[in-house]
Amino acid sequence: MNIKLSFNDKNFATREAVVVGVYTKNVELKGKGKDKSKKKTELVFHHWPKDMTEAFHKVKTSKNFKGGQGDSCEFNLPSGATIVALGLGDKEKFTTEILRRETASIFKQFKKRCEELAFDLDTLLIHNMEQTISICAEAIWLADYSFETHVSKKAENTLKSTVFMSSQTKAKEKKIELLLKNTQVLCESINLARDWVNEPPNILNSEEYAKRIEQDAKNIPGVKVKVLGKEELKKENMGMFLAVNAGSAYKPQLVHLTYSPKKATKHVAFVGKGLTFDTGGYCLKPSTSIANMKFDMAGSATVYAAFRTLALARVPVKITCVLGITDNAINAMAIKPDSIVTARNGKTVEILNTDAEGRLVLGDCLDYVCDLEPDAIIDAATLTGACLVALGSEICGLMGNNQKLMDKLLSSAKACDEYMWQLPIIPEFHKDMKSPIADLKNIGSKGYGGTSKAAAFLEAFVKKNIPWAHLDIAGVADNQSHLPYTPKHGASGLIVRTLVNYVENV
């Protein structure tokens, strides 16, 4: 979707359709007796031209428009232009997330209704023009996504372009154009990640996935890609990663990407879980839980999308991105419960549940990136169903070994309006992950606290002096139907924005 900027422009009459924000405010009505402090909600027409406010009030149905979030009221100017009064609720309570959601909703409503939709930014302003533009653009480009790769008849939309108009002068145009360009790269990266997560497992197997990443990364200036296959993983002594891949028809693939700008003084490493399908292995998932396990590679797609965005934006930070890619399948060679394997760091692990496979792949990948001595490691994984039990499907779980790093991630999540909540790793959880017959076991003894215990397991593969944070995206990676800028079903693309914000401010 094309977004055009039009500054010094308040010329609604010549447009086809313009979205214009309307707020509400509570006013006290001074009455007598019982009615002493009656409250009334009034509409606030902030930055509306006078003649347009008059046109609005002339429309008889406009009296039913309350201006609440999600309300809208359409009317026409004598020129034929459609004005969409978009309710944004109480002006005092207006937030960036309200703007993002409302922009996405109204955009989707008009995709089949006009050819050009304009947004009057003066009436939608939050904080400043830059932020308003990047939020509205984000909302539009993210809401515009649909996964249609495998449908023969693609949806037909009439909408060709959107226009951001503002009465502001052109003074900051160059800066704003760059901002818009970066937002576009971010949204394209998120949509690419969504495509990969949505792709079915018979098509996106480990080898195909690694190929697509390599192909995409080739087009990012200054990025190096290395793919380690089965033989290389053997040489690396990645016994846990190889154990998960043992029952697969496809090679394991460790994709190692490096973006190393000259000016960099800091080095951040991303690690992502890339299970192209998780059957559970011999601890086979029942049919209700196996469904949709193609999404078990969302962690890898998430960190790759952040890496891609940052590298294309030439952010002056060195970034390593390591993706552990395989499926968890069953054949005669597949790893059996009770097996003991040796991890890359030398620790022995009793695999009591073949469905707790993500931590095995990630553990070896974490040890591998520790050798590169980054200043911080952040991993993302659809690691535990328990995360949905603990936090619900709308919140990303955060754990780690360094409070400073976790606080930074929490504030990045807040700045991006993404939900993230920290869970503790206590010494008892580490103890629970010890095996009587090996150094570790891959599941806890008691059924509770599964998300933190998985993190406790991962921590055993991180060098103590390296700050590390673990993001459990099992809930947020798909089906975020409450968000108008994510598809109702399938990959959400959430958490990419938080990771990008973190590195931009590192």
Exactly one of 278, 364, 379, 459 binds ligand BES (CB under 6 A); that residue is 278
The answer to whether residue 281 forms part of the interface with Zn ion (CB under 5 A) is no
Q: Tell me if 275 sits within 8 A of 358, measured CB to CB.
A: yes
Residue of minimal CB distance from ligand BES?
A: 385
Mask: binding to Mn ion, 340-369, rule CB under 5 A, as x and -? ---------------x-x------------
Mask: binding to ligand BES, 473-492, rule CB under 6 A, as x and -? -x------------------
What DSSP element (H or E) covers 348? strand 348-351
Q: Please report how close the Cβ of residue 358 comes to Zn ion at its closest, in angstroms.
A: 4
Nearer to Zn ion, 329 or 376 (CB): 329
Q: Please report how close the Cβ of residue 141 comes to ligand BES at its closest, in angstroms.
A: 27
Q: Tell me if 271 sits within 8 A of 303, measured CB to CB.
A: yes
Q: How many CB atoms lie within 10 A of CB 80?
A: 10
CA separation for the pair 295, 273 (Å, rounded):
10
CA separation for the pair 51, 13 (Å, rounded):
11
Q: Please report how close the Cβ of residue 381 comes to Zn ion at its closest, in angstroms.
A: 8
Exactly one of 120, 296, 350, 367 binds ligand BES (CB under 6 A); that residue is 296
Kindly state the tokens that stand for 413: 């999540």
With the C-alpha atoms ordered 440, 446, 449, 450, is the resulting torsion angle positive or negative?
A: positive
Site for Zn ion in 330-369 (CB under 5 A): 358
Helix (H, G, I), strand (E, B) or coil at 434: coil
Nearer to ligand BES, 84 or 460 (CB): 460
Of the candidates 194, 273, 294, 359, the residue annotated as catalytic is 359
The answer to whether residue 450 forms part of the interface with ligand BES (CB under 6 A) is yes
The answer to whether residue 278 forms part of the interface with Zn ion (CB under 5 A) is yes
CA separation for the pair 473, 379 (Å, rounded):
10
Q: Please report how close the Cβ of residue 382 comes to ligand BES at its closest, in angstroms.
A: 4
Helix (H, G, I), strand (E, B) or coil at 183: helix
Exactly one of 91, 347, 385, 415 binds ligand BES (CB under 6 A); that residue is 385
Nearer to Mn ion, 317 or 329 (CB): 329
* Token pair 């939608």 in the structure block, residue: 124
CA separation for the pair 322, 272 (Å, rounded):
6
Only segment of 78-86, 111-119, 361-369, 376-384 that touches ligand BES (CB under 6 A): 376-384
* Token pair 């209700």 in the structure block, residue: 288
Q: Please report how close the Cβ of residue 343 comes to ligand BES at its closest, in angstroms.
A: 17
Mask: binding to ligand BES, 224-263, rule CB under 6 A, as x and -? ----------------------------------------
C-alpha 343: how far from chain center: 30
DSSP state of 385: T
Site for Mn ion in 266-285 (CB under 5 A): 278
The answer to whether residue 456 forms part of the interface with ligand BES (CB under 6 A) is no
Asked if 359 is an active-site residue, the reply is yes
CA separation for the pair 8, 353 (Å, rounded):
63
Q: Please report how close the Cβ of residue 368 comes to ligand BES at its closest, in angstroms.
A: 20
- Write the DSSP string, 5-29: EE-S---GGGSSEEEEEEEEEEEEE
With the C-alpha atoms ordered 158, 164, 165, 171, is the resulting torsion angle positive or negative?
A: negative
Residue of minimal CB distance from Zn ion?
A: 278
Helix (H, G, I), strand (E, B) or coil at 274: strand
Strand partners, 270: 321, 378
Burial class (CB in 10 A: 0-12, 13-18, 19+), 206: buried
Nearer to ligand BES, 24 or 326 (CB): 326
Nearer to Zn ion, 275 or 420 (CB): 275
The answer to whether residue 382 forms part of the interface with ligand BES (CB under 6 A) is yes
Interacting residues toward ligand BES by CB under 6 A? 278, 296, 353, 355-358, 382-386, 443, 450, 474
Residues designated as active site: 285, 359
| Binding site residues, Zn ion, CB under 5 A | 275, 278, 296, 358
